[in-house]
Structure 1
Amino acid sequence: MRASDTPARPNGLSGAYRAVWRWHFYAGLFVLPVLMLMALTGGLYLFKAEIESAAYGRMARVDPRADWTSPDRWTASAQAAVGGQAASVFVPDQTDRAVQVKVRAADGERTVFVDPHDARVLGSIEGDGVMGTVKALHSLTLLGRPFNILVEIVAGWAIILVATGIFLWWPRKRDVAVAVPRAGDPKRRPFWRDLHAVTGLYAGGVIAFLAVTGMPWSAVWGDVFLNKMRESGLGRPPAPSAASPWSHAGPHDTPAGTGWTMEHAALHAPGHGEARLSTVVAAVERAGLSRPYTITIPTDPDRAFTAARAVDRAEDARSLYIDGRSGEVRADIRWDQFGVGAKGFEWGIAVHEGRQYGWANRIVMLTGCIAVWLLGISGLMMWWKRRPKRGGLGAPPAPPGPRVRAAVLGIVLPLAILYPLTGLSLIAAVVLDRLFVLLFRWKAQA
């Protein structure tokens, strides 16, 4: 980028407008590539059930029968097929569907499809299959756990993009407020500017919602906020008086399907004798937990098994903590026991994943994902049309004076306080921007 790439003061643009435009440009430059990846994988994940049915339909289907064989035979068959220890079992709600046994094998986790009627193994896939890979890409954990911190940074900057975009769109004396698409030539920049503005106007709220409700999965903010909710009584319910206090389950004993609020929450169930899956399944059925549900098998023999109902609507959630030896239900956790903070975030996650309100919910979230790509492509085309002929980024010029910079701080500072990693990245961006400005001034004077 060179100091002469753009005019010192474009006609009709105030200092505040140029300051916000500059940071909108930088936010898009650094965040949109990752945001577009998350939108692509998120859009695919909305159709998880359909994709998995197409990919593994043959392994997942069985001849429907009324009777089940012993659930202990399910895990025994799965363990014998791939070698390893059973970690969880997904029990479907239809008699023509296979149970899915997650097994920790020497070469990683595998999901084994087992006929519940005769314990015959129908096939297996690595980990959670194709959608497991999509989910890992979406959370960036496929690149390594440390990369998950980018979720918070990208989500925070996505909100900044929406906020600065609204500021730039807002009607002034100039003709900048575009509410409907206008006919134009795709070879010219105004066409892409209008497409960018209209897309951001109508999809900005959905994109901001996706960013905010995606925060619980972030490596830093999500864990801190979850702990604060627990300490304040706004999160998960206290352990029942008849049970031991909640303990933190390690990676291998993390209950599956219990949701963000009950993540890592485990109960002790010390006793004598052998814990059996058949005992747990019988207790789950007696307790009236609706199928489908997932039973997590702890590696620690003194921990309770967890049975969590697989639900679409957040308020239908229910989890049982069961002694694998006696079949005693040590805790029965339902929606009305959650604190108001936990309810809010569980609802947000269900809407984020397109489950809460059926197909309408899914379509709205998909629209947000498509909008991210339209904004990215139109933003790239706008830059391409006005790119500097002598090279460089072609960023909007930096306006002088602290007053105009206050316009940017007024937008981003509250978000930087709420999301600390976004704030740290903002400080780094401000320092780099200042260094660029000083460097280009020095070059211009040399």
Structure 2
Amino acid sequence: MNNSKSFYLSVWRWHFYAGLYTVPFLLMLAITGLMMLYSPVVEKWTNQDLYNVQQVSSTPLTFEAQKELVAQAYPNDLIKSVHALRDISESTRFQVIQDGEALSVFVDPYQGKVLGDISISDSLYSWADNTHGTFMIGDTGDKLIEIAISFTVLLVITGAYLWWPRGSTTLKESLKISCNKGRAFWKDLHSVIGIWVSIILLFFCISGLAWASVWGGSMLQAWSTFPMQQSATSVSSKLTHNDLNVKGLKQIPWGLEQAALPESANTNTPDVIGLDKIVSQSKALGFTQFQVFFPKGETGVYTASASSMSKDIENATDDRTVHFDQYTGEVIVDIGYQDYSLAAKAMAVGISLHMGQWGVLNYIVNTLFCLAVIMICITGIVMWWMRRPAGKFALSAPQQPKDLALWKHATWIILLLSILFPLGAAAMAVVIIIDRILLFIAPKISAVFN
């Protein structure tokens, strides 16, 4: 067997084993991604009586009066924030925490009544988001998904090599499906769809990993968080911007989540500034559709936030977060997209594109992408099923090269992954160790994996 053929088999074998682990996760991510893309639209359409007011008048209730209505309807619960909306035909939405769960409470500002509520924490979006991020098994699921996404990068690299035109086949011919039957058709469908969406797939991997616990939370996000201590005279030792999020919904920009919340300094002032004053000041600063988070405790602050994360705006470059002293209304910190670090800017744009926030075209592309990923997974499974020997209990992996060490070509990939994706590199090292152990001490078990 020549070196070229041997190398091809080695790459194919890596592609197969990476896909073996990754396919279930990619299917889950694509399906839940579609659910997250469309569930807010479905929720708003099926609850029009809550989202929309019956009649608009010229004298709506003040925000403070609306908040009091919510307090009367939910006397034992925490009112966390309010959405100040641009569309006057929509009801006002408050976020209320009830027994640890988050609710959207809708108020008609013209009739002066609470219309009802919808659970945020138990919504279809929340379920899909939790599954998408943790596989519903917490931190363990988060790490398993991070490994899967790291392996997806390996799949794209090895897949591009396997697809690359050889012999008399031209590049143009390789970009279209040329076979119409048998396993060759499924192989063409798999590779052509894969190569067309490969760049988008890599983009989704990187932007999705921004929230992963190791690569995102412990490395990239920690290094890229806005330095609040340098901008505010006093910051909380316990609360971060992530505490402004509610269970089942992320609303705070990625680059601020780990930043400490500033504190109000004038705690000797007897009265706090009213909500309408904060809304008025926010509008004077240029906010149009935004959310106001209420102070937590005596040193808490009002926070006005407009971000693509909360779906108040579409363009992530218009992100803005302003903190007000709850006693004087003084602006403590004013943070815009221009103040983010380079990584935080890239992630702000990347995450909003990932979530389909940049208009109809972004929505369509994300939909087609999710469907393409599902098709890639299905065609991969079909190809394996058609190739495997009938009646043999084995994974039927691609042939192991005889004259080339199976895993030595992964060395450079492991080095790259170890820098970019530590969990992925660790998982690859484990695969190599297991393969060597099975080869030498358990040949019968090893046969199942070949």
Q: Same fold (TM over 0.5)?
A: yes
Tell me, yes or no, if structure 1 residue 136 matches structure 2 residue 126: no
Q: 1:444 to 1:219 in 2, by over 3 A?
A: closer
- The answer to whether the Cα contact below 8 Å between 1:46 and 1:353 also exists between their aligned partners in 2 is yes
Task: Answer with 175-184 or 189-198: which moved more.
Answer: 175-184
Tell me, yes or no, if structure 1 residue 70 matches structure 2 residue 62: yes
Which residue among 52, 60, 64 is the counterpart of 1:61?
Answer: 52
Q: 1:383 to 1:328 in 2, by over 3 A?
A: same
CA distances 1:61-103 after superposition (whole Å, capped 9, x unpaired): 1122343323233333334434411112222211111122111
Tell me, yes or no, if structure 1 residue 47 matches structure 2 residue 38: yes
Identity %: 28
- Could you tell me how far apart the structure 2 residues matched to 1:155 and 1:226 are? 16
Which residue among 173, 176, 182 is the counterpart of 1:180?
Answer: 176
| Higher RCO, 1 vs 2 (CA within 8 Å, ≥6 residues apart) | 1
Tell me, yes or no, if structure 1 residue 192 matches structure 2 residue 191: no
| Corresponding letter in the other structure for 1:37 | M
| Corresponding letter in the other structure for 1:253 | D
Offset of residue 320 of structure 1: 1.0
CA distances 1:265-311 after superposition (whole Å, capped 9, x unpaired): 311113133444334323323333121x1122243331212111122
- Could you tell me how far apart the structure 2 residues matched to 1:168 and 1:103 are? 53
- The answer to whether the Cα contact below 8 Å between 2:25 and 2:145 also exists between their aligned partners in 1 is no
Task: Answer with 237-246 or 59-68: which moved more.
Answer: 237-246
- Could you tell me how far apart the structure 1 residues matched to 2:124 and 2:445 are? 51
Equivalent residue runs for 1:35-114 within 5 Å: 35-62=26-53, 63-82=55-74, 83-106=76-99, 108-114=101-107
Tell me, yes or no, if structure 1 residue 254 matches structure 2 residue 210: no
Offset of residue 49 of structure 1: 4.3
Offset of residue 121 of structure 1: 1.2
- Could you tell me how far apart the structure 2 residues matched to 1:316 and 1:284 are? 14
Alignment correspondent of 1:383: 384
Equivalent residue runs for 1:97-246 within 5 Å: 97-106=90-99, 108-128=101-121, 129-140=123-134, 142-173=136-167, 178-185=174-181, 188-226=182-220, 228-230=222-224, 235-236=225-226, 238=228, 243-245=233-235
| Corresponding letter in the other structure for 1:378 | T
Offset of residue 38 of structure 1: 0.8
- Could you tell me how far apart the structure 2 residues matched to 1:237 and 1:391 are? 56
Secondary structure in structure 1 of the residue aligned to 2:47: helix
- The answer to whether the Cα contact below 8 Å between 1:158 and 1:211 also exists between their aligned partners in 2 is yes
CA distances 1:339-359 after superposition (whole Å, capped 9, x unpaired): 222211211112212223x22
Offset of residue 243 of structure 1: 3.9
Alignment correspondent of 1:267: 262
Which residue among 420, 426, 434 is the counterpart of 1:418?
Answer: 420
- The answer to whether the Cα contact below 8 Å between 1:240 and 1:331 also exists between their aligned partners in 2 is no
Offset of residue 228 of structure 1: 4.9
Q: 1:47 to 1:443 in 2, by over 3 A?
A: closer
Alignment correspondent of 2:309: none
Alignment correspondent of 2:293: 296
- Could you tell me how far apart the structure 1 residues matched to 2:139 and 2:443 are? 40
Q: 1:248 to 1:333 in 2, by over 3 A?
A: farther
| Corresponding letter in the other structure for 2:67 | T
Q: 1:250 to 1:175 in 2, by over 3 A?
A: same
Secondary structure in structure 2 of the residue aligned to 1:181: coil
CA distances 1:363-413 after superposition (whole Å, capped 9, x unpaired): 222222111111111001001101232111111133356655332333343
Equivalent residue runs for 1:8-19 within 5 Å: 14-19=5-10
Which residue among 281, 286, 294 is the counterpart of 2:284?
Answer: 286
- The answer to whether the Cα contact below 8 Å between 1:164 and 1:411 also exists between their aligned partners in 2 is no
Which residue among 330, 333, 343 is the counterpart of 1:341?
Answer: 343
- The answer to whether the Cα contact below 8 Å between 2:242 and 2:252 also exists between their aligned partners in 1 is no
Offset of residue 46 of structure 1: 2.9
Alignment correspondent of 1:5: none
| Corresponding letter in the other structure for 1:283 | Q
Offset of residue 175 of structure 1: 6.0
- The answer to whether the Cα contact below 8 Å between 2:322 and 2:334 also exists between their aligned partners in 1 is yes
Q: 1:243 to 1:419 in 2, by over 3 A?
A: same
Tell me, yes or no, if structure 1 residue 320 matches structure 2 residue 311: no
- Could you tell me how far apart the structure 2 residues matched to 1:369 and 1:214 are? 14
Q: 1:43 to 1:442 in 2, by over 3 A?
A: closer
Unaligned runs of 5+ in 1: 1-8
RMSD: 2.8
| Corresponding letter in the other structure for 2:292 | I
- The answer to whether the Cα contact below 8 Å between 1:248 and 1:264 also exists between their aligned partners in 2 is no
Q: 1:174 to 1:364 in 2, by over 3 A?
A: same
- Could you tell me how far apart the structure 1 residues matched to 2:401 and 2:347 are? 40
| Corresponding letter in the other structure for 2:108 | D
- Could you tell me how far apart the structure 2 residues matched to 1:282 and 1:68 are? 15
- The answer to whether the Cα contact below 8 Å between 1:355 and 1:361 also exists between their aligned partners in 2 is yes
Alignment correspondent of 1:4: none
- The answer to whether the Cα contact below 8 Å between 2:187 and 2:379 also exists between their aligned partners in 1 is yes
- The answer to whether the Cα contact below 8 Å between 1:79 and 1:103 also exists between their aligned partners in 2 is no
Alignment correspondent of 1:23: 14
